[in-house]
Chains A and B, each alone.
Chain A
Amino acid sequence: MIKVEGLTKRYARTVAVDNISFEVEKGQIVGFLGPNGAGKTTTMRVLTCFLPPTSGSANVAGFDVLENPMEVKKRIGYLPETPPVYPEMEVDEYLNFVGRLKGIPSSEIHRRVDDVTGRCAIGDVRKKLIGKLSKGYRQRVGLAQAIIHNPDVLILDEPTSGLDPKQIIEIRELLKSLAGDHTIILSTHILSEVEHSCERVIIISQGKLVAIDSVDNLTNRLRGSEAVAVEVEPIDGHPTTAEVQQRLEQVSGVSRVLMKDPRAGRLNFEVESLQGRTIRADLARSVVQSGWNLSELRAVGLSLEDIFLQLTAAEKKDEAGAEKEKEKVEEGVKQ
């Protein structure tokens, strides 16, 4: 549905997006992840034909953004970072205007407006001026605007920014209900957002593509070893921390045992396994066989947060390494 090849966007002095390639299939929800200023918005603006690429190509629903912008625009719903609303218009009036602008025939427009106001839960503010609405409502009006013409592709730039937790959950549900018929790209710098609503993640940093994979694969790929949290409840000061630690270290496949702060009198440990070993069953058995109360045992998966830091840090390390190499070479030349 979306195909980006070697996309580069250069502003006067800075390179905002540097040679990015990816593909998104029909009906997928893809998260576009990166720190602020990574080039997320720029990439989206290229896909929506707002900005032309400096080099490379972007293809939406089979149409190139440079050669056939009109066809691309017809098939795209776009919610920019700040919802593009006119404060002096009423919600209904605004959706009517946008609907007509997107080419919905006037016979259908009322039905479409009814439909999207229902879907985005803005039915109770339809006669209000947009300028008088709260940020959350404005955001939802912006979303309604993006889906009014039932586009094949939805591009949402930070759709949940400025919403309260309840609204965030509502928007997530809405996005999930839209997936399938629609291909959705959403950008965010909040990682849990991606974990919750996306099937695939595209991570970019400083304009470069860092990783592209499904959320599960990405966590697995980076989680070479397993981390397990173990909680033991002592009775009458027995066993002691040292005893438990010693015991856990003896379990085969354990690489190290970290002591955590005790919580409500219970002893907490984080146990890491050697590469490719599963240790949960053995850990449980050893604790129980020692006659201790095992009150909790759970796998601690790496969060996207960790993955993200690892990936971007790895990149930085590479860069630092490359620079050192370069210095060496330069020194060699001097000598």
Chain B
Amino acid sequence: MKNVLLICRKELNSYFASPIAYLLMAFFALIFGFGFYTATRDMVKFAFQAQMMGQAQPQNVNDAIIRPLLGFASTVALFLIPMITMRTFAEEKRTGTIELLMTSPTRDIEIILGKWLGAMLLYLCVLAMSMINIALLFAWGKPDLKPVLVAYLGLILQGGCLLAIGVFISTTTRNQIVAGGVTFFVCLLLWLLSWFTAFDSTVTAQVVNYLSIVTHFENFSKGVLDSKDAVFYLSMIFFCLFITSRAMESLRWRS
């Protein structure tokens, strides 16, 4: 456990020693801010229009702004995650520092968990950018807190899952760009699959739909905490970290 935290801290330090962490946070803040601006403007516009036509209806900030906005955030995260995970193992393999880690008295799983946790914390920092906007809503409106928390939990779980996939892909190559590219492709594929299979009722489509990580976020974004989705995410994280440790083992036998 001590080693996990040690490696996690080292990972975080190196993220923040390079521009990558700041770039990701700035990029996310900008895009999310734009989405926030558009959603809020539209809601206000509709509210005024409805009022002028004399059919004023109570507007729900949760439904009109927060839910689509956090759904949007989950999609944006798909594009940021490859940039977080691509260097985790590929860089260490390229520079040879992996030899230091693998010949130190640590277990492989501690190295993997440390790296995943470091990536997770950076992802949380990136997500935290969105709270600036959400906090504004709480300051000027009265949104419901619980669904917001559930949606954030969903974002964290989905992120953890994709990060674990990214870390796995990073162990398979010594080239960061390849690791990033493949992870990006996988994320894109998952996203597209969820679109293609959404209205298809064949068995294959249903299975693919279930496995595509993105679809499980929908319930979370609605504020529904379904154990089915949470279990899916957790077992997916577990599975990916497990195959990562197998990949590291095979690294020893092949290299």
A contacts, CB < 8 Å to B: 11-12, 45, 48-52, 70, 73-74, 76, 78, 80-82, 84-89, 93, 97-98, 100-103, 145
A-B contact pairs, 6 of them (CB 8 A): A50-B252, A51-B253, A52-B253, A85-B97, A98-B104, A101-B104
Interchain CB contact under 8 A, A102 and B252: no
**Cβ-based interface call for B235 (8 A):** no
Cα A30 to Cα B123 with chains together (Å):
48
**Cβ-based interface call for B139 (8 A):** no
Interchain CB contact under 8 A, B103 and A49: yes
A-B contact number at CB 8 A: 70
Chain A residues positioned under 8 Å from B10 (CB to CB): 86, 97
Chain A residues positioned under 8 Å from B98 (CB to CB): 84
Interchain CB contact under 8 A, A102 and B104: yes
Chain A residues positioned under 8 Å from B252 (CB to CB): 50-52
Min CB–CB distance B251 → chain A (angstroms) = 10
Cα A298 to Cα B253 with chains together (Å):
53
Cα A51 to Cα B255 with chains together (Å):
8
Chain A residues positioned under 8 Å from B254 (CB to CB): 11-12
Chain A residues positioned under 8 Å from B17 (CB to CB): 88-89
**Cβ-based interface call for B227 (8 A):** no
> Chain B CB within 10 Å — which of A50, A70, A145 has the most?
A50
Cα A73 to Cα B106 with chains together (Å):
9
Min CB–CB distance A113 → chain B (angstroms) = 15
**Cβ-based interface call for B59 (8 A):** no
Chain B residues positioned under 8 Å from A49 (CB to CB): 102-103
**Cβ-based interface call for B6 (8 A):** yes
Chain A residues positioned under 8 Å from B53 (CB to CB): none
Cα A76 to Cα B102 with chains together (Å):
12
Interchain CB contact under 8 A, B253 and A73: no
Min CB–CB distance A88 → chain B (angstroms) = 4
> Chain A CB within 10 Å — which of B96, B98, B104, B253 has the most?
B104
Chain B residues positioned under 8 Å from A11 (CB to CB): 254
Chain A residues positioned under 8 Å from B6 (CB to CB): 97, 100-101
**Cβ-based interface call for B51 (8 A):** no
Q: Which residue of A lies closest to B107 (CB)?
A: A70
Interchain CB contact under 8 A, A101 and B3: yes
Cα A309 to Cα B99 with chains together (Å):
32
Cα A50 to Cα B97 with chains together (Å):
12
B contacts, CB < 8 Å to A: 2-3, 6-7, 10, 13-14, 17-18, 95-107, 252-255
Which secondary structure dominates where chain B touches chain A? helix
Min CB–CB distance A54 → chain B (angstroms) = 9
Chain B residues positioned under 8 Å from A80 (CB to CB): 96, 99-100
Interchain CB contact under 8 A, A50 and B14: no
Which of B102, B105, B107 is A102 in contact with, Cβ under 8 Å?
B105
Which of A12, A50, A87, A89 is B99 in contact with, Cβ under 8 Å?
A50
Min CB–CB distance A135 → chain B (angstroms) = 14
Interchain CB contact under 8 A, B14 and A82: no
Q: Which residue of B lies closest to A155 (CB)?
A: B103
Interchain CB contact under 8 A, A73 and B104: yes
Interchain CB contact under 8 A, B97 and A84: yes
Interchain CB contact under 8 A, B105 and A103: yes
Chain A residues positioned under 8 Å from B102 (CB to CB): 49-50
Cα A103 to Cα B106 with chains together (Å):
9
Chain A residues positioned under 8 Å from B107 (CB to CB): 70
- Other 17 A-B pairs with CB < 8 A, given A12-B254, A82-B96, A88-B18: A50-B99, A50-B103, A50-B252, A51-B255, A70-B107, A78-B99, A86-B14, A86-B95, A88-B14, A88-B17, A89-B14, A100-B2, A101-B6, A101-B7, A101-B101, A101-B104, A101-B106
Interchain CB contact under 8 A, B103 and A48: yes
- Name the 3 nearest CB pairs between A and B, nearest first: A84-B100, A88-B17, A73-B105
Chain B residues positioned under 8 Å from A103 (CB to CB): 105
Chain A residues positioned under 8 Å from B99 (CB to CB): 45, 48, 50, 78, 80, 84
Q: Which residue of A lies closest to B3 (CB)?
A: A101
Interchain CB contact under 8 A, A145 and B13: no
Min CB–CB distance B248 → chain A (angstroms) = 12
Min CB–CB distance B227 → chain A (angstroms) = 38
Chain A residues positioned under 8 Å from B106 (CB to CB): 101
Chain B residues positioned under 8 Å from A52 (CB to CB): 252-253
Once A51-B252, A52-B252, A73-B104 are accepted as A-B contacts, the answer to whether A89 and B13 lie under 8 Å apart by CB is yes
Q: Which residue of B lies closest to A48 (CB)?
A: B103
Q: Which residue of B lies closest to A83 (CB)?
A: B96
Chain B residues positioned under 8 Å from A48 (CB to CB): 99, 103
